[in-house]
Structure 1
Amino acid sequence: MDLGLNGKVALVTAASRGIGQAVAKRLADEGATVAVSSRAPAAAPGQTPYPVDQGDPAAVERLVPDVVAAHGRLDALVINTPGPKIAAFLETGIGDWAQAYDQLVRPAVQLATAGARVMAGQGGGSILFVTSTWVKQPAPGGVLSASMRSLLSALAKQMSLELAPLGIRVNQLMPGATGTDRMRTIVAAKSQANGTTEEDEIAKVVAAIPLGRWAEPEEIAQAAAYLLSPAAAFVTGESLAVDGGAIRSTL
């Protein structure tokens, strides 16, 4: 299926590995010109690297203008942010919350604002927030991630309402358990906290997924490409879980 992304200009953040890397590759495979950012981006064919540490507000502020200066426009923006540490609520301090905000929320707001202004000026575009199923179904140890990403969930919905008349679509993609380095870090942390093996913790994760396995990054990327593309022209303000059926709620 041709998603209509050929010739579009896209920016994907935190794209050096995992889901971000898979999304960037998928968009490039669809014919998009893809700018990728991370602290040390390794660009694949069809991609342009932008070394940006999302913990540096000044660097984040320059990212969208630099991409537009190089490519002339911005049609798709994937706001992907690093995850904070895994910890129970009573094990967190105010410093952890401040750090999580600086990792997840501040750069996302900066990118969303800059991207939306460019898209408004050119007559439209698509913005996608990559969050987590934890915003709908929290899990032990995920208090920092779930709380900060829930803020982004609300932001995405608000933006979709305000920006639709400008031709800008805004959606949220909620990956479930996915075979990434981040997921393996979570598994290791749970193993240490529970006094179990990593294999035990992986088995627990998979047991809670009706499809009986976790996702591959490429499967998340396929959903991202659709939401960003003209094929989803009438889809905005939506939150799509790609989780193998793990979320139990009906809505």
Structure 2
Amino acid sequence: MAAKLPLKGQTAFVTAGADGIGTASAAALLRDGATVLLMGRRRDALEHSRQQLRAQIPDANVHICAGDAGRAGDMQAALKQAWWLQSRLDIVVPTLSSAGTRPLLTHDEASLRNALELHVVSAFTAIRLAAPWMARQGGGSIVCIASDTARADFKRLSAHCAASACLDGLVRAAAEELSSAGIRVNAVRADLTQANTTVPTFGASAIRMPLGRPDTPEDIATAVRYLAGPESARVTGQSLAVDGVRALRQRPEPGGAARRLHGETARSGLDNAQLISSR
């Protein structure tokens, strides 16, 4: 007897789908029968991800759309393409994010706005534009990728912490407003996720985890799949932490990366202020 596929007949849309959490989330959804549209800026990278997914999941129904998830016009075009795959849109996973380190006193309004654009405005745009498509069929599930920085203190990540907290609030407010349309809105709060760029950046602290290893994109994708599917039908407005209990323990220390990027100004507090004012 063929295994039951709980997402069979559903359409999912995943941004930043060319690698990392985006590709892993797509794989988790595809394995359970969803048709998936991947969005990203580079068509060649998306095509590479599509081929990888088809190699892993031979019957994967995966499509691609090149565009900038931070632009409303590109987002609307991609959502329309996703809808027309099966005349429905069930799952949206906005995964656009970044966590570059920078001392607070070296930030300016432009760098803060950039963090807000990347984390909050992109998710807001996805939610705002996806909701009308989902409402056509009586509901759906939106799963944002958030960060533990929303609720924990991290040195040299002030803009990222602020943006993450904003995204946390957006998820709760959107869940309340869209519930009458049958649309659930949740987030997965990820910690430092293992990738070629993250382990060197955070050095030895990246592997000093309470459960013995950093998170992988697949760890996050498992939570995305849960929040996207029927198993979480009564869950909305939540931010599910997938962090190996790091929120209760030691934070990663990105000091080395900050020093490489910002030189002597990679300090915090009054020491940094005194260094800057003395120049």
Q: Is contact 1:68–1:74 with CA below 8 Å preserved after alignment? A: yes
Uncovered stretches (5+) of structure 2, i.e. residues with no partner: 55-60, 250-279
TM-aligned CA distance change 1:182 to 1:37, over 3 Å: farther
For 1:116, the equivalent position in structure 2 comes to 131
Q: Report % sequence identity.
A: 30
Q: Structure 1 stretches of 5 or more lacking a match? A: 189-200
Matches within 5 A, 1:22-171: 22-40=24-42, 41-42=46-47, 43=50, 44-45=53-54, 46-83=61-98, 85-171=100-186
The 8 Å contact of residues 19 and 180 in structure 1, kept in 2 or not, is answered as: no
Specify the code of the residue in structure 1 equivalent to 2:88. Answer: R
Q: Residue 219 of structure 2 aligns to which amino acid in structure 1?
A: E
- What is the alpha-carbon distance in structure 2 between the residues aligned to residue 240 and residue 84 of structure 1? 19
Deviations 1:196-236 (A, max 9, x none): xxxxx4322332x2112111211111111011000111111
Shift of 1:182: 5.0
Which one has a bigger Cα radius of gyration? Answer: 2
Distance 1:182 1:169 in 2: 32
> TM-score under structure 2 normalisation?
0.78
Comparing 58-67 with 35-44, greater Cα deviation is found at: 58-67
1:54 offset after TM fit, Å?
A: 2.7
Tell me the C-alpha RMSD between the 2 structures. 1.9
Secondary structure of the residue aligned to 1:211 is coil
Superimposed CA distance per residue, residues 113-164 of structure 1 (whole angstroms, 9 cap, x where no aligned partner):
1111111221010011101111111311222222112111101101111222
Bigger RCO (CA 8 Å, 6+ sep): 1
CA–CA separation in structure 1 for the residues paired with 2:83 and 2:111: 34
Tell me which stretches of 4 or more aligned residues in structure 1 moved more than 4 Å: none
Measure how far apart 1:4 and its partner are. 1.7
Specify the alignment match of 1:10 in structure 2: 12
- Do the aligned residues in 1 keep the contact of 2:39 with 2:69 (CA within 8 Å)? no
Q: What residue identity is the alignment partner of 1:203?
A: A
The one-letter code of the counterpart of 1:61 is Q
Summarize the Cα distance change of 1:56–1:181 in structure 2 as closer, same or farther, 3 Å threshold: farther
- State the shift of 1:3 in Å: 7.0
Following the alignment from structure 2 to structure 1, what is the Cα–Cα distance between the partners of residues 114 and 153? 20
CA distance in 2, matches of 1:167, 1:2: 24
Query: What SS does the aligned partner of 1:50 have?
Result: strand
Kept after mapping to 2: 8 A contact 1:38/1:51: yes
User: CA 1:153–1:3 in 2, change beyond 3 Å: closer, same or farther?
Assistant: farther
Cα 1:83/1:126, change in 2 over 3 Å: same
State whether structure 2 residue 203 is matched by structure 1 residue 202. Answer: yes
Give the length in aligned residue pairs. Answer: 234
Q: For residue 124 of structure 2, what is the amino acid of its counterpart?
A: V
Residue identity in the other structure for 1:246: R
Residue 236 of structure 2 is aligned to residue 221 of structure 1: no
Q: Which amino acid is 1:243 matched to? A: D
Counterpart of 1:158 in 2: which secondary structure? helix
Q: Would the aligned equivalents of 2:176 and 2:237 in 1 still touch at CA under 8 Å? A: yes
